[in-house]
Amino acid sequence: MTQWVDPRTHGVVYDKPLPNGWEKKFMANGILYFVDHNRGTTTYVDPRTGKSSLDNGPQITHIKDFKAKVQNFRSCCQQLSLPQDIKITVARKTLFEDSFQQIMSFHSQNLRRRLWIFFSGEEGLDYGGVAREWFFLLSHEVLNPMYCLFEYAGKENYCRQINPASSVNPDHLKYFKFIGRLLAMALFHGKLIGAAFSLTFYKRILNKPLALKDLESVDPEYYQTLTWIRDNDIAECGLEMYFSVDKEILGQVTTHELKPGGGNVLVTERNKQEYIRLVAEWRLSRGVEEQTQALFEGFNEVVPQQYLQYFDAQELEMMLCGMQQIDLDDWQGNTIYKHYVRSSTQILWFWQFVKEMDNEKRMRLLQFVTGTGRLPVGGFADLMGSNGPQKFCLEKVGEENWLPRSHTCFNRLDLPPYKSYEQLKEKLMFAIENTEDFGLE
């Protein structure tokens, strides 16, 4: 028997066209997939509906808010996770190199297994808190401009961007692949890193096109210059510019042509839009294509890029870096107490102590108790412990001459029953500023 009705859709035709640049194809086994020619990627997820053509693929539909996107991303990662675990042992003094050697020695798929992080010479068991501290400390280390892999985006912008002079290290591409794996591991395992990137960096990870407006967050002066050229008649101003720019790397100045023969092409009122576009693209990339490609290679080995397609740059930054600003009301409203009550004298003193702190000291206190100085998207309500959500906890433990202790896997602070506010403040500050390692009771 023959018929015009498709047995898969029972005659219901989905007639909404694909977005521009998209194409629908079928594999040899009949499975439907989609090609995004704009980005040069393929996916099983229908861009019109968010549904996967795979039975066990990510089914993302009607995502209206960021938390829903994160929840669906976590679900997708769960499908990729593997059983058992991998152990990574590092020394604090050689954190960067130890982590690099071990992460690059694993097959990329093994990095989707549960992590067990050990600091050499320390007894702490990793039920989440040790891994949080490892990601937090390691990200600070690898993004430190002193290694010449990254640099600050501007004089007053402390976001990181890839350093075009990174080739002074002959192995710099291997390190960028390692950093790509590290960032993907943080997303995959739901951990936060301790430093932020420029928004253009996140847009590159998401494979989203860059525009002149993106330059404003990286180099405001350069952006203002280009917008002035855009909005004014350069012929009347007598400006003499060509399709080339000077760049300086390690004190050596070279000329880069924005297009073939650009050094001889004068910028005029007629072609200035092309000039603005090309010079903005150059300023946002500045010859770091090889480094970017190496980082993407490492990243995509752990997290497929298509799993991030529903996020924008700000959302990706929030998911990867969390929140730095700590809200005291949110902290108090999502704290539980053991052997104390909310009105206990020591609890009132503790919140007075936190209130008197600036945000940087609050972050250090948070890191002491939870392993990281940043908060997840939902704030203190979304703090995670060893077995899922775990609120910040203050527990009455010990004698008044004891120092406070933290249990980072459980977001718990052991707060002895101090006899005065000055004593509590002194002991807490000493613990925060002098903590060094993990141990077992």
Whole-angstrom Cα distance, residue 379 to residue 401?
Answer: 33
Across the range 135-154, mean pLDDT stands at: 87
**Strand order of the sheet with strand 41-43?**
22-26, 32-36, 41-43
Backbone angle region of 367, left / alpha / beta, with phi > 0 → left and psi within -120 to 50 → alpha: alpha
Tokens of 89: 């042992």
Query: 438 pLDDT band (50/70/90 cuts)?
Result: very low
Tell me the one-letter amino acid at 2.
T
| Range in 380-389, 390-399, 408-417, 429-438 the model is least confident about | 429-438
Tokens of 9: 């859709």
pLDDT at position 293, please?
92
Query: 219 pLDDT band (50/70/90 cuts)?
Result: confident
CB neighbourhood size of 168 (10 A): 11
Tokens of 413: 């602070």
pLDDT at 31 exceeding the cut of 80: no
pLDDT at position 63, please?
40
Query: 126 pLDDT band (50/70/90 cuts)?
Result: low
Tokens of 183: 């960032």
Q: Is 84 helix (H, G, I), strand (E, B) or coil?
A: coil
Percent pLDDT > 70 in the chain is 86
* H/E segment holding residue 157: strand 157-162
**Of these residues, 76, 77, 159, 409, which one is catalytic?**
409
Instruction: Tell me whether residue 159 is one of the annotated catalytic residues.
Output: no
pLDDT at position 424, please?
93
Selection from 128, 62, 54, 37 nearest residue 45 by Cα: 54
Across the range 121-127, mean pLDDT stands at: 64
Whole-angstrom Cα distance, residue 147 to residue 141?
Answer: 9
Tokens of 165: 């002079």
> Which of 40-49, 176-185, 207-216, 374-383: highest mean pLDDT?
176-185
**Mean per-residue pLDDT over the chain, rounded:** 82
Selection from 158, 273, 165, 150 nearest residue 217 by Cα: 158
Q: Percentages helix, strand, coil for the chain, rounded to the nearest 5?
A: 45, 15, 40
Across the range 73-100, mean pLDDT stands at: 90
Q: Which residue has the higher pLDDT, 305 or 46?
A: 305
Rg of the chain, C-alpha, whole Å: 26
Across the range 323-335, mean pLDDT stands at: 86
Whole-angstrom Cα distance, residue 114 to residue 133?
Answer: 16
pLDDT at 420 exceeding the cut of 60: yes
The predicted model scores a pTM of 0.71
pLDDT at 207 exceeding the cut of 60: yes
332-370 residue pLDDT tens: 999 999 999 999 999 999 999 999 988 888 888 988 888
pLDDT at position 309, please?
84
Backbone angles phi, psi at 388, to 5 degrees: 125, -160
Across the range 254-282, mean pLDDT stands at: 86
Q: Which residue has the higher pLDDT, 71 or 393?
A: 393
* Domains of the chain by start residue, with CATH: 1-48 (2.20.70.10), 80-207+289-321 (3.90.1750.10), 212-285 (3.30.2160.10), 328-434 (3.30.2410.10)
Q: Is 130 exposed, middle or buried (0-12, 13-18, 19+ CB in 10 A)?
A: buried
pLDDT at 301 exceeding the cut of 80: yes
84-97 residue pLDDT tens: 889 999 998 999 99
> Which of 41-55, 99-113, 368-382: highest mean pLDDT?
99-113
Tokens of 185: 């591991």
pLDDT at position 125, please?
58
pLDDT at 61 exceeding the cut of 70: no
